[in-house]
Structure 1
Amino acid sequence: MTDQVAPRPRSPRGTGEQLAEEIIRATTDLLIERGTEEAVSIRAVAGRVGVTPPSIYLHFADKEALLDVVCARFFEDFDDVMMKASDGVDDLFDRALAQGMAYVQFAIDSAAMYRVTFARISPPGEPTLTDQVLLSSAFVHFSDTVEEMMKQGLIPQGDVVQTVLKLWATAHGLASLMIAKPGLPWGSDGELAESTLRAVCEGLSRG
């Protein structure tokens, strides 16, 4: 099998944005197929899209920049799913649970991209585009829910970020284990994940 394909016709002017989207989609597809970022090269992406490698560099400075955009896009999709899951849920505990379960389920449904995205290490004090998108989307919505719970006295007042990190660590740990060890008895429809997240929420209410 080869990454080479027939070259595509020269694109008309003004289609650079469309090509960038094709590059992002092709990179995402390759990451899902191959499972690791090491197995995806600029040459492989170019071959999939039908352009030369230098054409990729017109849109993305290097492979790291391309992967950062791809992973940031993944977090945007992540956020959309979480928000739809909790939309219209008035009970704040149920909302937090819905957001946590949506997180776990989306991670399992997108296992390859989830692994790749969280395997990338951010240098201390240097947030990448992926980090920035995460912190301005899913993290913010988790924070809003926690802050509202504190205001209503459902959980003790405290550091919102620290509380969010506790919930996030729980959801992330569950998702990572369920992806890595699917043969363990997790229960149907994420039964164990839901009971664990519920227990954490109830524990927070007791301070």
Structure 2
Amino acid sequence: MNFTRRQRSARGSGQELRAEILTATKELLARTGSVEAVSIREVGKIVGVSAPSIYRHFSDKDQLIGAVVAQVFEDLEAVMRAAGDPADSPMERLRNQGLAYVRFAIEHPEQYRLATAPGENAGAVDQVLGSGAFTHFAAAVSDCMAAGLIEPGDPIPVVLELWASAHGVASLLIAKPYLPWGDLETVADRVLRAACVGRVVIDNVLGEDATPADVTQWVAEQRQRR
């Protein structure tokens, strides 16, 4: 990927310069696939400004990287919204949103890794996720509750459970692409369907205290009825 040196920004174009810094950092991060390879100096070379010019907008590299990843994840909100077609059933929307989430993670592996890395405090990315992807998941779960598919109550615990499933399969597909997964979309779909169906069966049929023996008996009964 070739980067061209930008012309010096005119006075009063601080927001434009900030946007160019973020764009250059995003492209550098995508090209190198490593946050360690991204530096203020290298970003400055790409944009055509000195390091102090970048520091006027971002106090350090961590803040710059955080802003870039948050910007990328703002796109996830649009992806999740598009996946949640109101014409679909609540369960179908939940499944489609989960698949959209996994696809997004696979398409932005380094940004996703950074966004979900352990941290002591909530940052910009957590705010974006909380106002975007999390909200769409919560709305679909609430609709599932209203439809009698999931036990009514606080949707947040259910959202976290389903989010954990989506994150788990996305993280493994990114970290271990050489494993014999088969078709990635099929794998992700199977995991997400299992999580959704499992929640519905627990809430409506077996109950929270169901044991493996209870599940085995229930499955046997379903087979006999076929």
TM-score (norm: length of structure 1) = 0.89
Count of matched residue pairs: 200
- Residue 12 of structure 2 is matched in structure 1 by 14
- Residue 216 of structure 2 is matched in structure 1 by none
Structure 2 counterpart of 1:165, from 160, 171, 187: 160
User: Aligned in 2, Cα 1:58/1:163: closer, same or farther, shift over 3 Å?
Assistant: same
Structure 1 counterpart of 2:124, from 119, 125, 129: 129
Question: Aligned equivalents of 1:117 and 1:152: distance in 2?
Answer: 33
User: Aligned in 2, Cα 1:188/1:89: closer, same or farther, shift over 3 Å?
Assistant: farther
Q: How large is the Cα RMSD of the aligned pairs?
A: 1.8
Structure 1 counterpart of 2:149, from 146, 154, 177: 154
| 1:50-65 matches, cutoff 5 A | 50-65=48-63
Identify unmatched segments of 5+ residues in structure 2.
204-226
Superposed CA deviations along residues 118-169 of structure 1, whole A, max 9, x for unmatched, are: 23x332xx32121111111111111111112112211112331111111111
Of structures 1 and 2, the larger Rg is shown by 2
Q: Is the 8 A contact 2:83 2:96 kept in 1?
A: yes
Structure 2 counterpart of 1:44, from 42, 45, 48: 42
Q: Is the 8 A contact 2:173 2:184 kept in 1?
A: no
Q: Is the 8 A contact 2:84 2:93 kept in 1?
A: yes
Q: Matched residue of 2:148: which SS? A: coil
- Residue 183 of structure 1 is matched in structure 2 by 178
1:92 aligns with 2:90: yes
Identify unmatched segments of 5+ residues in structure 1.
none
Question: Aligned equivalents of 2:156 and 2:32: distance in 1?
Answer: 35
1:186 partner amino acid: W
Structure 1 position 10, deviation (Å): 3.0
Between 129-138 and 109-118, the greater mean CA deviation after superposition: 109-118
User: Aligned in 2, Cα 1:189/1:174: closer, same or farther, shift over 3 Å?
Assistant: closer
Q: Is the 8 A contact 1:146 1:163 kept in 2?
A: yes
Q: Is the 8 A contact 1:186 1:193 kept in 2?
A: no
Question: Aligned equivalents of 1:77 and 1:69: distance in 2?
Answer: 13
Higher relative contact order (CA 8 A, sep 6+): 1
TM-score (norm: length of structure 2) = 0.82
